[in-house]
Amino acid sequence: MRFSDYILSLRFCLERIFYSLRRLGQTSDAEGPVLTHVLCESRGRNEDADLELAFRRICGGDNFGNIHLPFEPVLTDKKNNSIGLQLADLVARPIGLKQLRPSQSNRAWDVIERKLDRDPLGRYIGYGLKCFP
């Protein structure tokens, strides 16, 4: 994956997180925006610096809504064995397989699909799941 693809997917993820948190009323309180930490797997000094720069640009307004996203990146080593990152790995593969081989049986996808965010009409494409070539 080219780095620009990675930045685009990061933008999609941060936007989806923000919209989900906002819908649940979790983006602000009486004192203002609530800062949310987002775990990212560390990949090396140069890659981490590039990721943090991209993350901060996206949160600073370089996103679909041109809004400030109240997120802070937390880079963590894979050896920390983060439960959240393990869960992300477990979910990502079935989603990717479904996109690459839509007619192939995929029981994990069947479970994940029911849990995706949906628009008011019940559609998850472009809402709870964004794909790009």
Q: Kindly state the DSSP code that residue 125 receives in the 8-state scheme.
A: B
Rounded Cα distance, 75 and 48, in Å = 7
Number of domains in the chain: 2
Do 122 and 67 have their domain in common? no
Do 42 and 107 have their domain in common? no
- Using 50, 70 and 90 to split pLDDT, how confident is the model at 112? very high
Do 16 and 58 have their domain in common? yes
Residue-wise pLDDT tens digits, 20-74: 999 899 988 888 889 999 999 998 999 999 999 999 999 999 988 899 999 999 9
Q: What residues have CB less than 8 Å from 7, skipping those under 6 apart? A: 54, 58
Q: Which domain holds residue 117?
A: 81-133
pLDDT at 35: 94
* Mean pLDDT on 114-128: 92
Q: Kindly state the DSSP code that residue 79 receives in the 8-state scheme.
A: G
Do 88 and 45 have their domain in common? no
Do 89 and 67 have their domain in common? no
pLDDT at 81: 84
Do 73 and 10 have their domain in common? yes
Do 87 and 54 have their domain in common? no
Q: With 60 as the cut, is the pLDDT of residue 1 above it?
A: no
pTM attached to this predicted model = 0.83
Do 85 and 71 have their domain in common? no
pLDDT at 3: 64
Q: What residues have CB less than 8 Å from 130, skipping those under 6 apart? A: 12, 16
pLDDT at 17: 92
pLDDT at 14: 95
- Using 50, 70 and 90 to split pLDDT, how confident is the model at 91? very high
pLDDT at 124: 93
